């Protein structure tokens, strides 16, 4: 299981290590010092560091790294259900299961492979999964780290059942921020959103940018493929690019709810913000043999960067 590295560049590397519970983690390292770490517990990216070694994802100090509990932080994969909008456990079961490294995955279509070092992970349903969600699928995830430190994830979900099935999905991305009061989101203005704090009632965003003064739990509908999260405290901007994911979820639990979450620190809401590429409002239906692909790319740039400079038509 060797590294998938750029030709002629031996500094990009991949290795498999074990965490303190004996669970395998895959560590990707880019030539300029950036790194990413994915746990086979949940197929979950739990760390993404820039070339200076600074952590860009949030993980709670109270996170539980033992199955079947999901890891509070990083980028959990919500499948086949987002939230509690269905009969399954919160956010589905994919983030609670053990994945495997796939050494010889089916080839990605031209232009889909990104990054100088990558790993391919695979999840198939267990007998217990089929009891609660009776559909056979193959969920393939490619995690890639670019030479410049950008993190990309490509999810491919294939229906290998004899009947169609429907699912919702999200990359539940926990970003690390300086202070939530110093953060704003650009790119979602004027959009309609479903407010989970108001029984999923539909509203229209009235502000020029989203800022935070209380709990927020919204699904922005038909969102653009590029969204920016500006952190004034760190003088840093996260650029979130997505494909195949029509919605954007924004969540911060704020003070009261934080105290009710067992695996979350009382004041940790100040240092995190979830901004998810998602398919929530209109679930995805696959007929037998069909495959769906959803892509996410994250980059961190100086805050002098302006979202208006982005070309929203450029593919990731």
Q: Is 52 annotated as a binding residue?
A: no
The b-or-e profile of 117-127 (16+ CB within 10 A means b, else e) is bbbbbbbebee
Pairing of strands 226-231, 236-243: antiparallel
Contact of 179 with 162, CB cutoff 8 Å: no
Question: Can you tell me the distance from the alpha carbon of 115 to that of 250, in angstroms, rounded to the nearest whole number?
Answer: 27
Closest CA to 236 of 228, 244, 246, 224: 228
Q: Is 295 annotated as a binding residue?
A: no
Cα 38 off chain centre by = 12
Closest CA to 114 of 298, 308, 262: 298
């004899």: which residue's tokens?
A: 162
CA dihedral 277, 226, 291, 94 (to 10 degrees): -20
Q: Is 11 annotated as a binding residue?
A: no
Three-state DSSP at 187 gives: coil
Instruction: Could you list the residues known to form a binding site, using ranges.
Output: 72, 90, 95
Instruction: Could you list the residues known to form a binding site for substrate, using ranges.
Output: 72, 90, 95
């Amino acid at each position: 299981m060797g590294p998938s590295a750029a030709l002629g560049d031996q500094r990009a590397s991949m290795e498999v290590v074990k965490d303190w519970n004996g669970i395998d983690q895959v560590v990707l390292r880019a030539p300029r010092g950036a790194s990413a770490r994915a746990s086979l517990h949940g197929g979950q990216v739990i760390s993404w560091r820039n070339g200076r070694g600074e952590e860009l994802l949030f993980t709670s100090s109270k996170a539980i790294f033992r199955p079947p509990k999901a890891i509070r932080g990083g980028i959990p994969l919500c499948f086949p259900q987002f939230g509690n909008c269905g009969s399954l456990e919160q956010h589905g079961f994919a983030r609670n299961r053990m994945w495997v490294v796939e050494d010889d995955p089916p080839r990605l279509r031209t232009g889909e492979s990104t990054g100088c070092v990558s790993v391919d992970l695979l999840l198939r349903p267990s007998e217990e999964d089929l009891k609660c969600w009776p559909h056979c699928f193959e969920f393939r995830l490619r995690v890639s780290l670019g030479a410049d430190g950008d993190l990309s994830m490509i999810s491919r979900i294939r229906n290998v059942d004899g009947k169609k099935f429907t699912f919702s999905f999200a990359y539940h991305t926990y970003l690390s921020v300086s202070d939530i009061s110093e953060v704003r989101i650009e790119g979602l203005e004027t959009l309609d959103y479903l407010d989970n704090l108001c029984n999923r009632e539909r509203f229209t965003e009235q502000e020029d940018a989203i800022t935070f003064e209380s709990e927020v739990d919204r699904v922005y509908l038909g969102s653009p493929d590029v969204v920016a999260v500006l952190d004034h405290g760190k003088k840093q901007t996260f650029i979130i690019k997505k494909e195949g994911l029509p919605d954007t979820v924004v969540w911060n639990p704020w003070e009261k709810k934080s105290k009710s979450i067992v695996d979350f620190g009382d004041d940790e809401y100040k240092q995190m913000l979830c901004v998810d590429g998602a398919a929530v409002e209109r679930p995805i239906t696959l007929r037998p043999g069909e495959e769906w692909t959803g892509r996410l790319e994250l980059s961190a740039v100086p805050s002098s960067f302006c979202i208006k400079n982005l070309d929203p038509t450029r593919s990731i």
